[in-house]
Amino acid sequence: MSQTIATPDAKPLPALGALHIDPHSYPEGVAFLDGQYLPMSQAKISVLDWGFLHSDATYDTVHVWNGRFFRLDLHLDRFFGGLEKLRMTIPFDRDGVTEILHNCVALSGHRAAYVEMLCTRGASPTFSRDPRQAVNRFMAFAVPFGSVANAEQLQRGLRVAISDKVRIPPASIDPAIKNYHWLDLVRGLYDAYDRGAETALILDFNGNVAEGPGFNVFCVKDGKLSTPAIGVLPGITRRTVFDLCAEEGLAATATDVSVAALREADEVFITSTAGGIMPVTEIDSARIADGNVGPVTSRLMALYWQKHDDPVWSSSVSYP
């Protein structure tokens, strides 16, 4: 027999265990959680998990293109580095995580996928405020590939606004630990939307350009590339640009990038696992150079996607 809980001067609460209907929809995909593979719609965590309550988590995202993981080893390096810095442990080594990620993609059937591995602090059985008493929780998933820029934006270039919001300084959060502290980035996004732009860049603590929500930024001036060095995630696609430049004999430097330097650049592009190398042709409603995607950006974009078939840079998924 079901029971209800009575409250003073109020109607009885619904019966304990009453059916909860999830009003949300989920992308097609497969998740790994608590030792089993599940449809994305069934992958849930507790509301008491520190990952949810305190953004106490680290993660990494890798993508699959034409059935091949791209630079998976570098993503694993960063993920396990984040675990160590946050004093988290998971019951899998690199080979174990690799197998789980491959299985998520293979079971999903996606040939182009956005794949995430993550670990939360977890929950304490007693709701303790001591993070040492929480049981760390590892999970992973694969969903269809998505990009920061859509097909039209990749052709014409993104319209970006520079927000005055300041990125969390490295003295507070090591940017090499990929994390979910995004409120500064989200506030920057709304600044951009209010000004008619499509995405945002925010500043570092010195007033220079830092990064955007999920991406790094590069500018090109007189054939030389530069990207912010301080207070930014050392992105894998950012690293890939440096590697491509080394192969092509292009000069690329991590340094301070002022707002003025970005506006006066010959070319600007952003980089992310979610989309690769993506052109920017307008900043704060003003065109970059002639307002067209530049030759260096176009050259690097083409090389970037060519590398996805290179076995030195990628690894194949074994589909059932």
* Residue type, position 181, single letter: H
pLDDT at 2: 45
| Residue 206, both tokens | 């010195």
Tell me whether residue 117 is exposed, middle or buried, using C-beta atoms within 10 angstroms of its C-beta: 0 to 12, 13 to 18, 19 or more. Answer: buried
- Indicate if the pLDDT at residue 310 is higher than 70: yes
Q: How far is CA 123 from the centre of its chain?
A: 24
**pLDDT tens digit sequence for 258-271:** 999 999 999 999 99
Confidence check: pLDDT of 276 > 60: yes
Are 12 and 22 in contact, with CB atoms under 8 Å apart?
A: no
Could you tell me the pLDDT band of residue 5, with boundaries at 50, 70 and 90?
very low
Q: Are 301 and 155 in contact (CB under 8 A)?
A: no
C-alpha distances in Å from residue 78, one per residue of 73, 94, 152, 171, 263: 9, 11, 32, 19, 31
Domains annotated on the chain, with CATH: 30-144 (3.30.470.10), 151-308 (3.20.10.10)
pLDDT average, residue stretch 58-85: 98
Encoded tokens for 61: 């995202």
Write out pLDDT tens, residues 7-37: 456 666 666 666 667 888 899 999 999 999 9
Q: What is the mean pLDDT of residues 220-247?
A: 97
Over residues 109-156, the pLDDT tens digits come to 999 999 999 999 999 999 999 999 999 999 999 999 999 999 999 999
Over residues 199-216, the mean pLDDT reads 97
**In three state form, how does the secondary structure of the chain look?**
CCCCCCCCCCCCCCCCCCCCCCCCCCCCCEEEECCEEEEHHHCCCCCCCHHHHHCCEEEEEEEEECCEEECHHHHHHHHHHHHHHCCCCCCCCHHHHHHHHHHHHHHHCCCCEEEEEEEEEEECCCCCCCHHHCEEEEEEEEEECCCCCCHHHHHHCEEEEEEEEECCCCCCCCCCCCCCCCHHHHHHHHHHHHCCCCEEEEECCCCCECCECCEEEEEEECCEEEEECCCCCCCHHHHHHHHHHHHHCCCEEEECCCHHHHHCCCEEEEEECCCEEEEEEEECCEECCCCCCCHHHHHHHHHHHHHHHCCCCEEECCCC
CA atoms within 13 A on the CB side of 98: 17
Phi-psi region of 98 (alpha: psi -120 to 50; beta: other; left: phi over 0): alpha
* pLDDT 10s digits, 80-118: 999 999 999 999 999 999 999 999 999 999 999 999 999
| Selection from 248, 234, 222, 225 nearest residue 304 by Cα | 248
Please say whether the beta carbons of 64 and 105 come within 8 A.
yes
| Average of per-residue pLDDT across 161-190 | 95
Distance CA 80, CA 85 (A): 9
Question: Pairing between strand 286-287 and 276-283?
Answer: antiparallel
